[in-house]
Amino acid sequence: MLFGYPITATAENWLHECLRQILQAIHRNLESGNTSTNWAELISEPYRSRLKRRLNISEKPNPKRLSLGDKLKNYQALLKTINDSEREQILQAFNDQNKIALLLSGQHDCEVIKDLPKTIQKPVTDLFTYAFEILTDLGIRDKHYKAIYDAASYHICPFCGYEYFDAPGARREALDHYLSKEKYAFAAANLRNLVPMGNKCNSHKLAQDILRKDDGTRRKSFDPYNHGTLTVSLDNSQPFAGELGKTGEQLPKWNIDFGSNSEEVTTWDDVFHIRERYERDVLNEGFTSYLREFGNYCKSWDSVPTSTEELKDAIRKYTSYQESNGFKDKAFLKAAVFRMLHRHCQNGDERLIQFIKNVVGVGV
CA R_g for the chain? 26
Confidence of residue 80 (pLDDT cuts 50, 70, 90): very high
Q: How many domains does the chain have?
A: 2
Residue 337 lies in a domain: yes
The whole-angstrom separation of Cα 134 and Cα 128 is 10
> Which of 205, 231, 249 is the last residue in one of the domains?
205
Q: Is residue 273 domain-shared with residue 125, that is, in the same domain?
A: no
Confidence of residue 133 (pLDDT cuts 50, 70, 90): very high
Asked if residue 211 is part of any domain, the answer here is no
**Are residues 61 and 146 located together in one domain of the fold?**
yes
- Residue 360 in this model has a pLDDT that exceeds 80: no
In the prediction, which pLDDT does 362 show? 63
Cβ distance 356 to 291 under 8 Å? yes
Res 4: pLDDT: 95
Of all residues in the chain, the percent with pLDDT exceeding 70 is 97
Name the more confident of 210 and 229. 210
Residue 254 lies in a domain: no
- 213 located within any domain: no
As beta bridge partners, residue 233 has 257
How many other CB atoms are found less than 10 A from the CB of residue 259? 10
Of residues 228 and 183, more confidently modeled: 183
Q: Which of 91-95, 156-160, 353-357 has the lowest mean pLDDT?
A: 353-357
Pick the more confident residue, 301 or 102: 102
Residue 316 within a domain? yes
Please report the pLDDT score of residue 302 as a whole number. 67
> Measuring CA to CA, which residue among 123, 267, 164 is closest to residue 208?
267
CA angle 68, 140, 40 (to 5 degrees): 35
Residues 164 and 285 in one domain: no
In a shared domain, residues 56 and 188: yes
Mean pLDDT over residues 29-34, rounded?
84
The per-residue pLDDT for range 213-266, each reduced to its tens digit, is 999 999 999 999 999 889 999 999 999 998 887 778 889 999 999 988 899 999
Domain boundary among 178, 205, 232: 205
Q: Write the pLDDT tens digit of every residue in 134-176.
A: 999 999 999 999 999 999 989 999 999 999 999 998 888 889 9
Q: Are residues 198 and 268 in the same domain?
A: no
Same domain membership, residue 161 and residue 45: yes
Is the residue at 349 inside a domain?
Answer: yes
pLDDT of 364 higher than 70: no
Supply the range of the domain harboring residue 272.
263-360
Same domain for 170 and 297, yes or no, is no
User: Has residue 171 been placed in a domain?
Assistant: yes
In a domain, 336, yes or no: yes
Residues 87 and 184 in one domain: yes
Q: At what angle do helices 308-324 and 284-300 cross, to 10 degrees?
A: 110
